[in-house]
Chains A and B, each alone.
Chain A
């Protein structure tokens, strides 16, 4: 895919790696030779200068594991894996309850003798927070999909909105 192009960095060796990054909301495509790519830490570990690359790589990895939840895909919101849960006995966030739903239902039934809450009902009204957790988890899932389909414009937009939400107090 980089036929005939020279490396953006050294301008000497043929470009063999195409690296797409999103920097300050702009999508950038770099063409690199293997030497420069290695120097920039692209081929092995993503460069610390481009945290998003790191982020995307991580998302890519979890995406591959998506096919089987039971094999231990982490909670999309907090990153808790089923191994973490097995080790600590603790869930990492409210979203874990939805994420590990299938397994938890059986466990709860064994522990509690029931899986249906019949106590106090709770509805919060007048909250300006909304369901921040569910919103964030939804946006993260859409971000993953956007990256998977190389829709980098949407990905950049979602990334900014997630950052905004995380920063908002």
Chain B
């Protein structure tokens, strides 16, 4: 186990793309909420107890086979830009980041060497075990996090109740403590105005959706996180399989919607894609929201082969690395909103231009350097 260290390149392996259904599903995650016996939950734990919880969590992480050579970062030790960096990479929740204050919070993130397992310590619950996978891979993410859970649960005694299951701070997580989610891009359903019907449908079968940044975040760039709503009364496998089945159907609907669009309104679609590309390639100031919305058009164009570049990897990288904390870190300081928008636009222009040059662009891609 390593304490602290560079954040460069950590937790972004999934950006390479290539997972199942990679042109529609960006990533998959499964998390388990766990609390230790004998300690108040984080909302009630004082500084001393929080410190002890982190000590115990460290010992368990050290002993866990799945987390060999893991790195542990204490949120208190990171500067605000670094904290937001973790947030933009979806490795931690806003709640974890916001625990850092005047008193030591002993909130921490452990990340496996291969970046596909993580543990948040002293978030809403003592432990949030997380499995990450690129593309649509619920079963894989579940199996990995389940194994980690066994390893940690052998070392640390969890708070468990014969009736309520794994006890959590919030009753919406009790039981299995499991939240599985897929980050899915649904521009076809949005453009064909079928999305509300689909979202209504998923809520009727015990699922819910959130925006890119999880709980409480709005939907931007047609990116939806589909997840299970309930955590009790079903086994972990039932919850994971149910989400997998429903998400599989949503993927099918999205694919049909895209076919309809390309058949019924090819020009409108093509125009939308190329306009998005044009703005991203030339804009001098881009807000995160505008970037995410335009990137949605571009991602759709790439998936439908209406445009040859950029690659899915570049699309994913811009999505994460184009956000404010990443831009701030690049210039080694903190940027205000207007500066960040300018830096973001420059970054996106560069990334798209580089891709054009490194691939032999087709006759329908713009020639010359728009910068």
Contact = CB atoms under 8 A, between A and B. Distances in A.
Interface of A: 77-80, 88-94, 97, 104, 107-108, 111-120, 122-124, 127, 129, 131-133, 136, 169
A94 B176 contact: no
A88 to B, nearest CB: 7
Contacts of B231: 112
A13 B164 CA distance: 60
A154 B168 CA distance: 34
Interface in B139-170: 149, 153-154, 156-170
Contacts of B162: 117
B164 A88 contact: no
B164 A117 contact: yes
Contacts of B161: 94, 97, 117
B233 A118 contact: yes
B169 A90 contact: yes
B175 interface: yes
Contacts of A89: 170-171
A97 B125 CA distance: 14
A132 B236 contact: no
In this complex, the interface size class of chain B, counting residues with CB under 8 Å from chain A, is 35 or more
Q: By CB atoms of chain A within 10 A, which of B43, B176, B236 has the most?
A: B43
B174 interface: yes
A107 B162 CA distance: 17
B235 A119 contact: yes
Interface stretch (B31-39, B76-84, B106-114, B130-138): B31-39
A124 B157 contact: yes
B38 A117 contact: no
Interface string B207-244: 00000000000000000000000111111100000000
A115 B161 CA distance: 11
Given A97-B161, A120-B176, A108 B232 contact: yes
Q: By CB atoms of chain A within 10 A, which of B44, B162, B167, B178 has the most?
A: B44
